[in-house]
Amino acid sequence: MFLTDRDRRQNRKILAFGGLFASLVAVCGPRALAATYRPVAEGSSPTARSQTDRVSGQVMIYVGGSVPEGTNLLAFQYLFGLTTAGNTTGYITPLLFEYSTVGTFTVYTVAGIGKGYEVEMNSAPQKIPFDVVVGTKVPTGGNFAFGFVNSIVGASGIPSVTSEGTVEFDTPADSGTGVGGGATNNNWGVTNSYSPSPVVSLGTTFGGPGAPADYTFFPEFRTYSAQAIGAIAVK
């Protein structure tokens, strides 16, 4: 990854949280820790898969589960260990969505835009801060999801630069539960807009084929090697 000083500070925040978590477990024990924070992970495991996207600037949304209400988003973890488009670098901007039912469709609306990063291939999973800079920062209900776009966008949501895929995926989607466990699964929707690349302005909508949305998904779900990591303060 190519990081500015501010980015490095954000990464230190993630590491500091991880260190805090470990220290609290060592000193107070897991029971005491459980009374303070509850870790959150949603999405799919960052494990080796078969492909990366060959089209620039696409939007991917995890539709297999919800980000719990009150989650303080800390990191976006992903695996970019291979390339099928030829690119060895690219861009990731994490996104937060609020979803609702419109007729027979589930429509995902951009609710928060994160800070984007330039990333590079690595055989091991990597993390970037999930730092929402515009819009909703913490889910306010149980109908929020996360995703990302292979571009760098500003507050307007308009891509300034785009790239081919930077996260490995399988198609069709993997069976089994997502990293959130319970009733989650490994389904991800991916846009099928080729030119121009999708914009992700606040209020932009996404949905399955035929949905009343600005952008629609391919008919078949995929599984991307990515997850959102956060924590909920327990009162």
Q: Are 189 and 43 in contact (CB under 8 A)?
A: no
Give me the pLDDT at residue 34, please.
52
The tokens of 225 are what?
């090697």
**Interval 191-217: pLDDT, tens:** 988 778 899 999 999 999 999 999 999
Chain-centre distance of CA 67, in angstroms?
A: 10
- Calculate the alpha carbon distances from 125 to 67, 76, 229 in Å: 21, 10, 13
**Interval 155-181: pLDDT, tens:** 999 999 999 999 999 999 999 999 999
Q: What is the pTM of this model?
A: 0.86
**Interval 47-94: pLDDT, tens:** 999 999 999 999 999 999 999 999 999 999 999 999 999 999 999 999
Query: Strand runs (DSSP E) across the chain, as ranges?
Result: 37-43, 59-62, 72-78, 89-102, 105-114, 117-120, 126-129, 132-135, 144-149, 151-153, 159-162, 169-170, 188-190, 205-207, 215-216, 223-224, 226-233
